[in-house]
């Protein structure tokens, strides 16, 4: 079962529109809340949040294309993709950049096809990292969030494997389709129906994050052992 996270009231009253322009609603982005701290001396986290992004919202603002931008693929992305697996605190803050462990792409060679499919970058610009200057989207997620995942997750490959395993086990796109909520058909759905469908299937309510009238992210929260 999935642990419960509360969606913003504004989003709960909004309409979920699964069209290329995005999913309509209003809400607060994670960037509006500051991390608890940055550095080694940070207390152990309380739970994990699996953050999924809706490409329709993000890709609608794409201004130019490049090889690494998933928005520019010949076939449009019609599924939620992974943003990150985040260790968080119960008070709404989170640890950040905990261990000085630089990202190493070579360690992820076995996962590269899955990362490209389920965890693509939706931007052309490189991402800021804690310890490696600027780098790929995955480097940002590992150094900012993955390094704070101990004692549950210690290594880079383990972190990305755990995120992909959760994504596939709790496949939001496929699960919504079983409830006749099809993310690629251009139809509008009441957001309350979407949340109820997820809650019925997974045992917990998702958190919905919105940007400029469009749903940008959907977050599923899990106990820190990643078992429920």
> Is the pLDDT score of 24 beyond 90?
no
Domain boundaries, position 29: 9-223
pLDDT tens digits, residue range 175-222? 999 888 887 666 777 778 888 999 999 999 999 888 776 778 999 999
Is 1 within the bounds of a domain?
no
User: How far is residue 160's CA from residue 155's CA, in Å, rounded to a whole number?
Assistant: 9
C-alpha–C-alpha distance, residues 136 and 155, integer Å: 18
88 assigned to some structural domain = yes
Residue in 145, 156, 216, 217 annotated catalytic: 145
pLDDT of residue 13: 28
Q: Any catalytic annotation for residue 145?
A: yes
Residue 120 inside a domain? The answer is: yes
Task: Look at 84 and 61; give whichever has higher pLDDT.
Answer: 84
Whether 89 is covered by a domain: the verdict is yes
pLDDT, tens digit, for every residue of 87-99?
Answer: 999 999 999 999 8
* 206 part of a folded domain: yes
Residue 3 lies in a domain: no
* 83 counts as catalytic: yes
pLDDT of residue 17: 36
Q: Are 121 and 68 in contact (CB under 8 A)?
A: yes
17-26, 96-105, 163-172, 203-212: lowest mean pLDDT where? 17-26
Amino acid 38: pLDDT: 61
Number of domains in the chain: 1
Give Cβ neighbours of residue 173 (< 8 Å, ≥ 6 apart): 78, 79, 80, 183
Interval 30-72: pLDDT, tens: 544 556 656 556 899 999 999 999 888 888 888 788 888 898 8
Determine which one of 141, 143, 216, 217 is catalytic.
Answer: 141
Is residue 8 very low, low, confident or very high in pLDDT (cuts 50, 70, 90)?
very low
Question: What is the Cα–Cα distance from 130 to 170, expressed in whole angstroms?
Answer: 29
3-state secondary structure of 23: strand
In angstroms, rounded to a whole number, what is the distance separating the alpha carbons of residues 179 and 119?
Answer: 24
pLDDT of residue 185: 60
Catalytic residue from among 83, 140, 156, 216: 83
The C-alpha atoms of residue 95 and residue 130 are separated, in whole angstroms, by 12
Tell me if 56 sits within 8 A of 23, measured CB to CB: yes
Residue 2 lies in a domain: no
CATH of the domain at 211: 3.90.730.10
- Report pLDDT digits (tens) over 108-133: 999 999 999 999 999 888 888 898 78
Task: Tell me if 179 is assigned to some domain.
Answer: yes
């Amino acid at each position: 079962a999935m642990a419960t996270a509360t969606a913003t009231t504004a989003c709960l009253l909004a309409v979920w529109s699964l069209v290329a322009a995005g999913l309509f609603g209003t809400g607060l982005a994670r960037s509006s809340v500051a991390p608890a701290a940055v550095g080694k001396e940070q207390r152990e986290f309380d739970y994990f949040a699996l953050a999924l992004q809706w490409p329709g919202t993000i890709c609608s603002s794409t201004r130019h294309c490049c090889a690494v931008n998933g928005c520019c693929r010949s076939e449009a992305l019609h599924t939620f993709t992974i943003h990150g697996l985040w260790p968080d605190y119960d008070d709404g803050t989170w640890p950040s950049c905990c261990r000085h462990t630089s990202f190493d792409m070579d360690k992820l060679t076995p996962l590269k096809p899955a990362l490209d499919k389920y965890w693509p970058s939706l931007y052309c610009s490189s991402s800021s990292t804690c310890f490696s200057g600027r780098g790929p989207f995955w480097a940002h997620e590992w150094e900012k969030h993955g390094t704070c995942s101990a004692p549950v997750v210690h290594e880079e490959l383990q972190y990305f494997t755990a995120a992909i395993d959760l994504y596939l086990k709790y496949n939001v796109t496929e699960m919504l389709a079983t409830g006749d909520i099809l993310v690629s058909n251009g139809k509008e759905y009441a957001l309350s129906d979407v949340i109820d469908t997820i809650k019925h299937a997974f045992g917990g309510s998702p958190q919905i994050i919105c940007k400029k009238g469009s749903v940008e992210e959907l977050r599923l929260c899990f106990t820190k052992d990643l078992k429920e």
